[in-house]
Chain A
Amino acid sequence: MIFATTLMLMGAMTLMLARLLRGPELYDRVLAVNSFGTKTVLFLCVFSFLIGRPDGVDIALLYALMNFIGTIAILKFFRYRALDVALSRMPSRNTRKKAGAKS
């Protein structure tokens, strides 16, 4: 049954690659990459049980965090066209309120 789950995850990853290649918008591709990463995390967990080496779960843990950071980094890059934008310079709720009070 672990093997069947591995096959199902691989099928789902293939479908997600198809969406990645077809996706008409940039955001479809980002969504596909993010979802592919989630499936990779699950695949690493299941596969480490399949081959009987539970070290893969540690890699899955790291991959879950890196997938999230990668998605946020891609979105930030395409919004600001740069990665070195300071957090304090991004418009937040407080600064918007202050700007509204000034004007």
Chain B
Amino acid sequence: MGAAKIAIAVSLLITMGVLWLALSGHFHDPLLLGFGLFSAAFCVFLAWRLHILDAETSPYHHIISLLVYLPWLMGEIIKTNIIVVRTVLSPDMILTPRLVRVKHLPRTDLARTIFANSITLTPGTVSIDMDADEIIVHALLKEMVNPADFANMAARSARAAGENPITTDEGKAS
């Protein structure tokens, strides 16, 4: 058990403890605080037994780039929401559903996950199937399958996961 694994275990323990405090609301009773600490430590022990204590358990080194990505995603969600609601509530409903394949995905698993989840989170596009090098996307309107938009979102989600497609050194700094 190396030093990196112990750091991950401690960060998981702190997260569990903060979650327990927020959900229970007991701050003063030492007995209950002890029980909370015990249950948090037991969860970390179970995670260790399950062999899932790896870098994915504590994704804290990407948190700044994720916080930069989130406002842009919220803006996109609001824009597409208004389009979808207007389409659905108009009396003469005109739909142009499309099924497209999006290629040129980000490389790392985390960046791919963020990209596919972002596609699904913006209403009007849903990622249906994912393969090693493409995502099949269903879109409600044909204006939503512009390849430049997908490329932009892929580049942004790659940056959010700490992966920089152009210069590899800059992404590690944050």
Q: Mark B123-155, 1 if CB is under 8 A from A, else 0.
A: 000000000100000000000000000000000
A97–B132 touching, CB < 8 Å: yes
Taking the complex as formed, is B31 at the interface, i.e. its CB lies under 8 A from any CB of chain A? no
Per-residue contact bits, chain B 81-117, to A (CB 8 Å; 1 contact, 0 not): 0000000000000000000000000000000000000
**Residues A58 and B132 in contact, CB atoms below 8 Å apart:** no
Query: Which residues of chain A are within 8 angstroms of B23 by Cβ–Cβ distance?
Result: 58, 61
Interface bits A77-100 vs B (CB < 8 Å: 1, else 0): 000000000000000010001000
How many interface residues does chain A have, given as a range?
A: under 10
Count of chain B residues near A, Cβ 8 A: 2
Q: Give the complex CA separation of A58 and B23 in angstroms.
A: 8
B99 to chain A, nearest CB (A): 16
Dominant secondary structure of chain A at its interface with chain B = helix
Chain A residues within an 8 Å CB radius of B132? 93, 97
Residues of chain B lying within 8 A (CB to CB) of residue A61: 23
**B45-92 interface with A by 8 A CB criterion:** none
Bound together, the chains give a CA A79 to CA B161 distance in angstroms of: 32
The docked-state distance in angstroms from the alpha carbon of A61 to that of B19 is 13
How far, in angstroms, from A61 to B23 measured CA to CA in the complex? 10
Nearest A residue to B131 by beta-carbon distance?
Answer: A93
Write out the residue numbers on chain B whose beta carbons fall within 8 Å of the beta carbon of A58. Answer: 23
- Distance between Cα atoms of A61 and B22 in the complex (Å): 12
Complex Cα gap A97–B132 (Å): 9
Minimum CB–CB distance for A28 against chain B, Å: 14
Bound complex: CA A29 to CA B132 (Å): 30
Kindly supply a per-residue 1/0 record for chain B positions 4-29, scoring 1 wherever the CB is within 8 Å of any chain A CB and 0 otherwise.
Answer: 00000000000000000001000000
Name which residue of chain B comes closest to A100, CB basis: B132
Shortest beta-carbon distance from B30 to chain A in Å? 23
The smallest C-beta distance from B121 to any residue of chain A, in angstroms, reads: 13
**Cα-based distance from A93 to B23 in the complex (angstroms):** 37
> Would you give the shortest CB distance from A71 to chain B, in whole angstroms?
14
Distance in angstroms from A60 CB to nearest chain B CB is 12
Instruction: Convert A37-57 into 0s and 1s, putting 1 for each residue whose CB lies closer than 8 angstroms to a CB of B.
Output: 000000000000000000000
Q: How far, in Å, is B134 (CB) from chain A's closest CB?
A: 13
List of 4 A-B pairs having minimum Cβ-Cβ separation, nearest first: A93-B132, A58-B23, A97-B132, A61-B23
Q: What are 4 A-B pairs at a CB distance below 8 A?
A: A58-B23, A61-B23, A93-B132, A97-B132
